[in-house]
Amino acid sequence: MKPLLIVALISSLSCLPISSERNHPLDGYNYNQYDPQHIDAVDDLVCAAAGAEKTRCWGSLGAPWRTYELPFSINQSEGIEQIAVTGTTICGLRVDGQVLCAGQSPNGVFGHNDTQEAATLLVSGEFRTIKSSSTKTCAQQRDDTGFGTLTCWGDTSYQVFPGQNDANDRTPFELQLELNDQPISVQSFDVGDDHICAVTLNPSKVICWGRQTTQADPFPTEPRVILDIPNDGQLNPDSLCVGRQHACVILKTGENDRPQVQCWGDNSFGQIQPNNPGGNLSPKVINLAMVPDKVFCADNHTCAIDSDGRHPVCWGDNSYGQLGGEPNESGIAKVEILPNLQWVQFTGGKTFSCARISVSVGGYTYCWGDNSHGQLGNPTITDTSERAAVVDFFHDAIND
């Protein structure tokens, strides 16, 4: 295993300077020019990475829990292209391939006890992708083929870090993944609370390992094959997503076949198969009216978009209207709450959703659903059953 350099740093929060303003077409309110490149949500917290500008977060975080209804900026977070959030840490993938994390320390959480600062970790390496759940974070290392191994840190329960023999060691660890006694090359991956799924290369498969709540043996000793990709099949490896206890992928099984969303795992909220309760280890096809191009998993709901991003649909838990329609409406819901806007990315937590919109139609970040912990990033919006909230990047929750 490659040695990983972990350097303790000190970080604090500071105000993001206000940049140029623009009027939002729906309400005429001025929002500053802040176009995130990547957003991620977990539980009741959302963070947005904006490349050269500072990362900003909103919602509820830390222990003791504190709520921020407006985004706040994080110092030393410039140059982050991808963001990954857990219940206790915020990690960012920098342009140089290194991972910077801020999190709990004996002196506070993210510097949010007003008097203390929070320790951070700088994980040396060359990483290409970072993903997280509420309990753990994983990053994919680069290699000459463009793919590579996974390095993970956080909760090690349920044998989710193969090769890690110390259950109390939460520091970065390079996973020792094997299938049939052969090393696995990971093409893409995503992380759930108690399990991880990946798309492998040569042979092409979808595999998962860790806790499997619908299996008699919930902790398999090696990854389980969920899907074998046929020779004439096509799978967009970036379409794999993992929620709290479910997962989905988009697969085209034959050259002339239409791409299909297939999901497996827990179905308590209809997140893998609407109107058909009960979990399943075998992938189930989701019948959609549009041709899916990307699929995104939140805690207990799932969303998909087509190639132009203008026909999003969601299914699963809708207790707070997080599917983009009326609360408690079941089935596959068209996201009417964002009419005629081009999605480029979706994320969601327990009871809310957020979407990043193409810069060509404004570049705004929208959130909808539950706002009891500031998850929507805009305190002026309390009812999102008819329209989504525009995240208010004009103000700063800490420094205004």
Residue (of 392, 399, 303, 287) closest to 27 by Cα position? 392
Residue 63 has pLDDT above 60, yes or no: no
The mean pLDDT of the chain is 78
293 burial type by CB count under 10 A (0-12 exposed, 13-18 middle, 19+ buried): middle
Residue 103 has pLDDT above 50, yes or no: yes
Contact 207, 179 (CB under 8 A): yes
Backbone angles phi, psi at 187, to 5 degrees: -90, -40
Residue found under tokens 């463009």: 146
Which comes out higher in pLDDT, residue 124 or 43? 43
Q: What is the mean pLDDT of residues 356-385?
A: 82
Contact 350, 43 (CB under 8 A): yes
pLDDT digits (tens, 9 = 90+) for 34-58: 778 899 999 999 999 988 888 889 9
Domain extent listing, the chain: 6-17+31-390
Name the pLDDT band for 126 (thresholds 50, 70, 90).
confident
pLDDT reported for residue 88: 80
pLDDT digits (tens, 9 = 90+) for 137-172: 999 987 766 567 899 988 888 888 888 888 778 888
Residue 27 has pLDDT above 50, yes or no: no
Q: Which distant-in-sequence residues (6+ apart) come within 8 Å of 261 by Cβ?
A: 248, 249, 250, 285, 286, 288, 292, 295, 302, 304
Q: Is 211 helix (H, G, I), strand (E, B) or coil?
A: coil
DSSP 332-367: -EE-TTSTT--EEEEEE-SSEEEEEEPGGGT--EEE
Q: Look at domain 6-17+31-390 and name its CATH class.
A: mainly beta
Q: Output the six-digit token pair for 397.
A: 């929750």
66-70, 102-106, 386-390, range with the lowest pLDDT: 102-106
Q: d(Cα 46, Cα 60) in Å, to the nearest integer?
A: 9
Q: Residue 72 has what DSSP assignment?
A: E
pLDDT digits (tens, 9 = 90+) for 306-349: 988 888 999 999 999 899 877 777 778 888 777 778 899 999 99
Q: Which distant-in-sequence residues (6+ apart) come within 8 Å of 101 by Cβ?
A: 89, 90, 91, 92, 120, 121, 122, 123, 137
Residue 218 has pLDDT above 60, yes or no: no
Q: d(Cα 228, Cα 110) in Å, to the nearest integer?
A: 42
Contact 336, 319 (CB under 8 A): no
Which comes out higher in pLDDT, residue 80 or 390? 80
Q: Which distant-in-sequence residues (6+ apart) come within 8 Å of 158 by Cβ?
A: 194, 195, 210, 211, 218, 219
Give the number of other Cβ atoms within 10 Å of residue 363's Cβ. 16
**What pTM was computed for the model?**
0.85
For residue 35, give the amino acid letter: D
pLDDT reported for residue 66: 76
CA neighbours closer than 13 Å in the CB half-sphere of residue 160: 27
Contact 244, 192 (CB under 8 A): yes
pLDDT reported for residue 19: 29
